[in-house]
A and B are shown apart, each in its own frame.
Chain A
Amino acid sequence: MTSIQVFDPVLCCSTGVCGVDVDQQLVVFAADVDWAKQNGAQIERFNLAQQPMVFVENPVVKSFLERSGAEALPLILVGGEVALAGRYPNRAELARWAGISKTVIEIKPAGGCCSGSQCC
């Protein structure tokens, strides 16, 4: 299965609840990652504040940081290649990269008509 690697900017934690203001994007993305994992996706997240060595050891990430700086994060690699930078993917994008079938996306939502970052 294709592995998805998410290189986060400096975060207190992956949902951002430790920050002085909770970032809505992070809350939604954490839920989406959790959902994708439940559906078999292989996703890893790395926090620049906690695991900076991982950033150093990956040549793609290292040169991205050198060129664009930490402000340009997050960086998402799919199968080791750059798939997205500067924003978090939504649930549909995660599903597509991970090969999660569309039916799951439609069946799964438990909170009424809302799903992830998209709400009707």
Chain B
Amino acid sequence: MKFLQQPPRFLFFTGKGGVGKTSIACATAIQLADAGRRVLLVSTDPASNVGQVFDVGIGNRITAIQAVPGLATLEIDPQAAAQAYRDRIVGPVRGMLPDAVVNSIEEQLSGACTTEIAAFDEFTALLIDSALTGQYDHIVFDTAPTGHTIRLLQLPGAWSGFLEAGKGDASCLGPLAGLEKQRAQYKAAVKALADAQRTRLVLVARAQQATLREAAHTHDELSSIGLLQQYLVINGILPRSETENDPLAAAIHEREQSALNAIPDVLRALPRDQVMLKPFNLVGLDALRQLLVDTPAQAATADSGIELDEPGLSALVDGIAADGHGLVMLMGKGGVGKTTLAAAVAVALARRGLPVHLTTSDPAAHLSETLDGTVDNLILSRIDPHLETERYREHILATKGEKLDAQGRALLEEDLRSPCTEEIAVFQAFSRIIREAGKKFVVMDTAPTGHTLLLLDATGAYHREINRQMGATGLHYTTPLMRLQDPKLTKVLIVTLAETTPVMEAASLKADLERAGIEPWAWVINNSIAAASAKSPLLRQRAANEIREINAVANQHAQRYAVVPLLRQEPVGVSRLLELAGGNTDTHLPEHSL
């Protein structure tokens, strides 16, 4: 593997969610540790699963992995980091000020901004030389899905600039104001990122058009902030040997090869490695040690025929259509196919003559490419964080800043450059669209898990704020969170793959939603090999591995569910999407819908 040769001090793995960067980061860390290096593996993903991969509880502190001498891991859990930050501020005044006052401080520090900032603060601490980092030869970062990664990596640069430009104490740094003294640390962090001697970025992708396009986009964005030493890893390639006698495997192989042939130019120039698809799930040390080793896939043993009779997506669409309108949110880890399934549900509803608005808040989504055509009754939109932030800034300047003099406007403009403004702006756009769901269908292909939760957190903060303001007036009101909690108005579909880690992640998403008072309406298991008819030994082995996961979803997690097969052709375009959503309409009545 080229990306493993002469590794520098910092290794970052990034890519669209679900491409396997956690597995590759873990395998890399193990390999370096096995070679006698001292390694710290850091996850900055708000929905981290490194602990699951090693089967140990890690959490927000450095934990040695006993089974791998030299390896320690750390999960930067934004929620825990925020709690630590709150304790630092609130702890000393507890008992010194009235309880109500202390509670109001804690509430203020429970928003999305505090969370993001606290995580950021921990992240930069790892990029500078200190007694803590000095113990390690390599620090391997399993970063968050792309959109989030870009923001996280851009923050040190953006925020240092922000701090320098800040005029006195007036700049709106939000909770960051308490961290201003660490300016030198942020500067050092930026410098380390841009130093090719110290930092290597590994773009992880699958041999699929969408993830390659995304990797090219990440390449450009991160090059522009100075991360120039980049490598490319294509993960999970189906070996040619599997294609004999299996039309599905042959179609997948062909699709992958043509995606690789059409690889974007900026990626073509990068040093490239390929990791073959393995028949096993990447959980546990043995599996991870084999990931980066190019042994031929062992002959798969599962030869028992797999006959699946699972409900398809059409039953779920029937259930959604029955209410005539509402918000349909597809949630789940990035890369599980939310965009495709959202498009399929939207097209199927529109085809029934129902008015549908299909939208996304995922900066990395490609709705129009997926749809590749137009459908009556269906409109498309996206919540573009950049655009929304700009619109919001202009709106505030035009309204709240209207009566200010030039100096005052400049000050407000400066403050609106706060990193928190984006969260607020996206939230505003989100609530605007939710309101439409009272009359029509709004199908939302949401951003990856961690992001979405931050968004919901902002919704919760708003809910509390309005409650406080409206509580006394006795007026009737509905907050966005109340809409999300009402099953008549909102249906959350959790999307996952039939693999161990994705199902675990989906279950923890479900728990998070339940804490917010939102009960997921259904689960969709996407790209199931077990639901397709595979003949290749490797695919059959993977199909056999899926059964346990499908059963877990059906019996433990979901009120209702659907299984969507892996298709020979990528479900792009209106007719294929319709097939995906309604293919079983005739044969499968909604027996599982209640």
- Is B105 engaged at the interface, CB distance under 8 Å to the other chain? yes
Assess whether A100 is interfacial by the CB under 8 Å rule: no
User: Per a CB cutoff under 8 Å, which of A18, A47, A49 touches B420?
Assistant: A18
Is A45 an interface residue when CB atoms closer than 8 A count as contact?
A: yes
Q: Give complex CA distance A17, B178 in Å.
A: 17
Q: Mark A24-63, 1 if CB is under 8 A from B, else 0.
A: 1001101111110110000011011111110110000010
Asked if B100 CB lies within 8 Å of chain A CBs, one says yes
Q: Is the CB of A18 within 8 A of B98?
A: no
Residue of B nearest to A109 (CB): B405
Partner among A13, A18, A31 whose Cβ is within 8 Å of the Cβ of B407: A31
Interface residues of B in 52-106 (CB under 8 A from A): 89-90, 92-93, 96-98, 100-102, 104-105
Asked whether A27 lies within 8 Å of B462 as measured between CB atoms, the reply is no
Question: Does the CB pair A65–B101 fall under 8 Å?
Answer: yes
Q: How many A-B residue pairs have CB under 8 A?
A: 154
Q: Indicate which residue in A9, A18, A22 contacts B400 across the interface (CB closer than 8 Å).
A: A22
Least Cβ distance of B389 to chain A in Å? Answer: 12
13 further A-B pairs in the complex, CB-CB below 8 A; given A28-B403, A110-B406: A10-B107, A11-B108, A12-B420, A15-B411, A28-B404, A30-B408, A50-B177, A52-B90, A56-B93, A70-B101, A109-B405, A111-B403, A117-B403
In contact, A55 and B97 (Cβ under 8 angstroms): yes
CB pair B169–A14 under 8 Å, yes or no, is yes
Distance in Å from the Cβ of B162 to the closest Cβ of chain A? Answer: 12
Q: Nearest Cβ distance between residue B251 and chain A, in whole angstroms?
A: 49
Encode contact with B along A59-92: 1 for CB under 8 Å, 0 otherwise.
Answer: 0001001100110000000000000000000000
Question: Whole-angstrom distance between the alpha carbons of A87 and B97 in the complex?
Answer: 21
A positions within 8 Å CB-CB of B: 9-15, 17-22, 24, 27-28, 30-35, 37-38, 44-45, 47-53, 55-56, 62, 65-66, 69-70, 108-111, 114-117, 119
Distance in Å: Cβ of A51 to nearest Cβ of chain B: 8
Contact between B407 and A20, CB atoms less than 8 A apart: no
What is the bound-complex CA distance between A61 and B168, given in angstroms?
A: 24
- Write the nearest CB–CB distance from B120 to chain A, whole angstroms: 15
Q: Shortest beta-carbon distance, A68 to chain B, in Å?
A: 10
B contact residues around A32 at 8 Å (CB): 408
Nearest 5 A-B pairs (CB), nearest first? A31-B408, A13-B172, A10-B108, A111-B405, A49-B108
B-side interface size class = 35 or more
Q: Is B174 an interface residue (CB 8 A)?
A: yes
Q: Which of A12, A52, A66, A117 touches B105 (beta carbons < 8 Å)? A: A52
Mark B361-387 against chain A: 1 for CB-CB distance below 8 A, else 0: 000000000000000000000000000
Complex contact B93–A53 (CB within 8 A): yes
B461 touches A20 (CB 8 A): yes
Q: Quick check: A13 and B174 within 8 Å, CB to CB?
A: yes
- Contact at B421–A17, with CB atoms within 8 Å? yes
Find chain A residues with CB under 8 A from B424 CB.
18-20
Bound: A14/B415 CA distance, A: 9
On whether the beta carbons of A17 and B412 are closer than 8 Å, the reply is: yes
**Residues A13 and B97 in contact in the complex (CB < 8 Å), given A30-B411, A52-B90, A114-B403:** no
Docked pose: A53 CA to B171 CA in angstroms: 21
Scoring B102, B169, B420 by chain A CB atoms within 10 A of each residue's CB, the highest score goes to: B169
B349 within 8 A of A: no
